[in-house]
Chain A
Amino acid sequence: MSRIYLSSADKVEKYENHLVKVTMADGSTVEGLEPRRLFPVTNPDAYITLLDESGVEIMVIRALSDLDKASAAVIETSLSDYYLVPRILRIISKAEKYGTLRWTVETDRGICSFDIRNRNHDIHVMRSGFVRVRDANDNRYVIEDCNKLDKHSYALLIADT
């Protein structure tokens, strides 16, 4: 069984909410597919799989650039709906009680506060400066490049890594 990869000849349109409808180059259509990232952390824009209602992979997009602009935009909107990973722009404050950290941060989606239960496992700093954070409720956050944070935020972050 070979995998179907979408190309620029195929069209993607919005279906319902974050679901999409694909029209293949030969005119056949599939409705109600859910785009999901195969590498949500390391490579969010490549290898996007399209699952049907029961979670079976129907086709795969190698890279968003394989699609025409309109289709790529539909996929991007859908993904940003499904994957809500706020980008932390600034760490406003940090409080601590016996190992549980409470961060108040400014993200691209507004200001929020959350708890980090175990800083050893829930804050990951990659060598590139990319940071992944997981809160007590299992919500994810990222810092795209911790070296570009303001001094105050950087100091708060780095004390816990």
Chain B
Amino acid sequence: MKAAPFDYVRVSSIDEACQALADGGEDARIIAGGQTLIPLMAMRLARPTLLIDINEVDDLTGISVNGDNLVIKARTRQADTLASDVVKERLPILADALSHVGHTQTRNRGTVGGSLVNADPSAEIPLIAQTLDATIIAQSTRGERTIAAGDFFESAMATTLAPDECLTAVRFPIWPAANTGFGFHEVSIRDSDFALAAAAAQTTLDSNGNCQRLSVAICGASPAALRLSIVEETLMGSDLNDDAIKTACANIDDLIDPQSDVHADAAYRGRVAKVMARRAISDARDRAKGELV
């Protein structure tokens, strides 16, 4: 299993990467962590003619807080993001999800941006981007643009990023911490594997303990991570009791489109997705109340 021949160029700035993409044509690809692209090339499911290596572009790494947003540059390693104190404090939902992305060795190379562009239907980082309405920032020789997560993930392994664009950063909104909690649940065959299905939720409760803000999304049961707006609308204003959550999550059959594969059949994935959504919402509620750490 060896990759087909290709050309390689190591770039040292975002501008150089964009220029190389523009000059390289449709079959030029950026390589970041390589944790997905290299296996795909080994299996010849991908055959780029030019790889543009962004691993030495210092401008593409770093985590910072900018107003109400946490900004993670594209080539920031998953391991560094997981270890980051500011992520643990301000975006604990992402830290929790990241602990399920592969394992230490893949996280030491794999990047946040690579996972977003790769858009695997079971991937955790895209799930959190959908849950929190993250904004993706992309650059090309034509300029910079921002893309809402909802418009970015098109379907399985497909995004609206243009072939000549380099993802440079992702912006996650930080919610006010008071009375806010998150939940994340997944089922996978082994800890380090992709999720069969996973769900993430974040809520803010008002002073009476009722839900005043709620975001829920699932992955693994649709071509791309899916926001459950119906569930959010149904539960808004309620006290998020277990029965209400269960009823709200029972109504998502028309929205999901689980697929069968060697790991699990469609019916199982669909069922698991619902249960994960329920657990994520009730954990979010309990954390918002300070009853769960």
Asked if chains A and B come from one complex, the reply is no
Instruction: Give the B-binding residues of A (Cβ under 8 A).
Output: none
